[in-house]
Amino acid sequence: KAGVTQTPRYLIKTRGQQVTLSCSPISGHRSVSWYQQTPGQGLQFLFEYFSETQRNKGNFPGRFSGRQFSNSRSEMNVSTLELGDSALYLCASSSQAGGGETQYFGPGTRLLVL
């Protein structure tokens, strides 16, 4: 079974631009979560989608948004990029709606904002 895939793997943007990251979960998994990893803050939860609905959201500004498609693929969008948005963005998928199942992470998209 193929793992979680994320595209692109690396991205360079400038301040003020917007960016869209993509995540394809493991086949059959319906839950996709997004995390931001920075050296100072570690891994922080952004949001989670299940069956095209955002079920949970972390403490990030509205510039961070996401969506999930009927095939469970998910996209994350960051508008008006700031230097502090430079990070590794990880998505994770799981098969159950919650409880007892672990998340499987993709390799991440490394975003650099100049």
Partner 1 sequence: DQQVKQNSPSLSVQEGRISILNCDYTNSMFDYFLWYKKYPAEGPTFLISISSIKDKNEDGRFTVFLNKSAKHLSLHIVPSQPGDSAVYFCAASRGGSNYKLTFGKGTLLTVNP
Residues that bind partner 1 (CB under 8 A): 4, 31, 33, 35, 41-45, 48, 50, 55-56, 58, 90, 92, 94, 96, 98-108
Q: How far is the CB of 80 from partner 1 (least distance, A)?
A: 25
What's the rounded Cα separation, in Å, for the pair 8 and 79?
A: 17
Whether 111 and 86 have beta carbons less than 8 Å apart is answered as yes
Largest CA distance in the chain: 41
**CA 112 → CA 13, 31, 66, distances in Å?**
6, 27, 19
